[in-house]
Amino acid sequence: MKIRVAIAGAGGRMGSEVVRALQNEKDLSLTGAANPAFAGQDAGKISGMDSLGILVEREIEGILASCDVLVDFTHPDQVYANALLAIEAGVRPVIGTTGLTSAQIEELEKRCREKKLGGILAPNFAVGAILMMRFAQLAARHFGSAEIIELHHDQKADAPSGTAIKTAELMLAERKRFGLGNAPETEKIPGARGGSLDGIRLHSIRLPGLVAHQEVIFGGKGETLTIRHDSLSRESFMPGVILAIRKVMELDGFVYGLENLI
């Protein structure tokens, strides 16, 4: 029996990529799509394909009744409400939109646990990015100073990226604080040193031409270590999205981070 998948954010760059990716998977079926900017249009055509016979709805309420999984690539302002609606309808959310607060993530975990329903939030679906985070976590055991630079396209709405935050969280699981030996600083331009999470400085770059990139730079006595990942196209995220769709059907709770599934 095929897993029925609906997409919130269909027609967007990531949503369109998911529409195309689903067509190559025999056990997955696209059953619905939502995006107010493309309402009434065929989901296949707006994704650069032939017609699929699935018209894009304005709101997700119109697609939840016909799907098992809701894949969300929308906007930080919309994703939380979308996930709550999906869970209430008994639909498993697979969330790629970043920008959720810790309190919102905790509430989604609670709702999924109460309903014994699978859910996945992945700041990054690229397998290489997951490995980059793991390697950074390992390196954090050996280096007490580190900074994260994340680079994304100029249409990304939130900063720092969810991947950068998740990377810092994993590093802090190994070491409670970084940069303890840093000299006192004075920023001549506010924000020049980026944001700080327990001593890990996070810097966000937004430029046209970029997709999704991150490097973690560690500093030690007489050496530095740089761990970097680059997504050169949105195709890099699709194996992780497909994996998450399949895995979420096996879960009875909410999972934060694709690294917990691979």
CA separation for the pair 239, 188 (Å, rounded)? 44
Give the side-chain half-sphere CA count within 13 A for 217. 10
How far apart (Å, rounded) are the C-alpha atoms in residues 164 and 150?
A: 7
C-alpha closest to that of 144 among 219, 225, 224, 222: 219
| Catalytic-labelled residue, pool 110, 152, 176, 247 | 152
Tokens describing residue 131: 């490995």
Residue positions counted in the chain: 262
Known catalytic residue at 152: yes
How does DSSP classify residue 72?
E
Distance CA 150, CA 206 (A): 9
From the number of C-beta atoms within 10 Å of its C-beta (0-12, 13-18, 19+), residue 48 rates as: exposed
Hunting for tokens 């397998």 — which residue is that?
A: 127
DSSP assignment, residue 91?
A: P
Which entry of 45, 153, 156, 188 is annotated as an active-site residue? 156
Q: If we measure between CA atoms, which residue out of 184, 202, 205 comes closest to residue 193?
A: 202
Strands ordered across the beta sheet of 223-231: 195-197, 200-206, 145-152, 212-220, 223-231
Residue 75 falls in the annotated catalytic set: no
Report the catalytic residues: 152, 156
